[in-house]
């Protein structure tokens, strides 16, 4: 499968989700309630009350904001911001002196998130159209990078982490929620466009994922939380797909 083909299919799929509000990702594809999905993957009822309802779209595999230790005044970038759920949660934590920048390659997602931010008066957030392999962010201008079940969608994860390293200030950190595998995926899954869009086919094996972060230059890499999911993609995958929350630092 060509990288360009994968990216175009994923972009098309998430454009459709942005317009339909259909919740669909690896952990809960086709579940009818976006709130149920959000609660299942790590958001609390209080979290959901604190953000615009339109930003919760049933996407993701964790709650990176809960573990990122965000501080007032920090500049934060969310890779693959989607409808903006993590951006809006983070906005409350960094306060008026901080800023959250959400980056997404899907025009429909960016438009939706911008409209929500404008409607509810979020002055410390910004949504930018761009690819996470080529971030529209200046060098060493960011304190924290978060992401929620998005990096697995990229065919070039090494470039994603290199970009994250580039834009972080010295001593900056990442807190990434993502999907990894325990062993190799079957070939039929790797070659499925639907499995790519569903956050599965692009997932790396756990050690390979951590090595990719390390090669980008990050230090003190660790998994701070994890949980196993049973995903209806292949019987061979039962118990072999894991949601991890990974922390690492630019030293």
Residue 93 contacts residue 3 (beta carbons within 8 Å): no
Distance CA 240, CA 248 (A): 24
| Segment 9-49, tens digit of pLDDT | 888 888 888 887 554 444 444 444 577 777 777 788 888 88
Q: Which domain holds residue 17?
A: 3-249
Count of CB atoms situated within 10 Å of the CB of 30: 9
**What's the number of domains the chain is made of?**
1
Mean pLDDT of 217-245: 80
Question: Running DSSP on this structure, what letter comes out for residue 218?
Answer: -
Q: 125 has which bridge partners? A: 100
User: Is the pTM higher than 0.85?
Assistant: yes
What CATH number did the domain enclosing 234 receive?
Answer: 3.40.50.150
DSSP labels for 47-113? HHHTS-GGG--S--SS-HHHHS---TT-EEEEET-TTSHHHHHHHHHH-TT-EEEEEES-HHHHHHH
| Segment 134-193, tens digit of pLDDT | 999 999 999 999 999 999 989 899 999 999 999 999 999 999 999 999 888 878 778 777
CA angle 168, 201, 197 (to 5 degrees): 80
| Segment 96-137, tens digit of pLDDT | 999 999 999 999 999 999 999 999 999 999 999 999 999 999
Residue 225 contacts residue 67 (beta carbons within 8 Å): yes
């Amino acid at each position: 499968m060509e990288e360009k083909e994968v990216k175009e299919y994923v972009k098309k799929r998430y454009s459709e989700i942005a317009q339909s509000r259909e919740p669909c990702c690896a952990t809960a594809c086709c579940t009818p309630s976006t709130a149920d999905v959000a609660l299942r993957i790590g958001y609390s009822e209080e979290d959901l009350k604190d953000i615009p309802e339109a930003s919760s779209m049933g996407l993701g595999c964790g709650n990176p904001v809960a573990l990122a230790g965000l501080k007032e005044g920090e500049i934060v970038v969310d890779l693959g911001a989607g409808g903006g759920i993590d951006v809006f949660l983070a906005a409350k934590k960094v306060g008026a002196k901080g800023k959250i920048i959400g980056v997404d390659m899907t025009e429909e997602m960016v438009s939706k998130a911008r409209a929500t931010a404008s409607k509810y008066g979020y002055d410390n957030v910004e949504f930018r159209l761009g690819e996470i392999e080529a971030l529209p962010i200046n060098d060493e201008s960011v304190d924290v990078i978060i992401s929620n079940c998005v990096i697995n969608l990229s065919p070039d994860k090494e470039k994603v982490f290199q970009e994250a390293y580039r834009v972080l200030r010295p001593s900056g950190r990442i807190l990434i929620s993502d999907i990894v595998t325990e062993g190799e995926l079957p070939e039929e899954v790797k070659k499925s466009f639907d499995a790519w869009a569903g956050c599965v086919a692009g997932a790396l094996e756990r050690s390979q994922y951590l090595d990719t972060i390390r090669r980008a230059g990050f230090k003190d890499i660790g998994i701070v939380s994890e949980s196993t999911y049973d995903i209806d993609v292949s019987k061979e995958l039962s118990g072999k797909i894991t949601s991890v929350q990974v922390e690492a630092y630019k030293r």
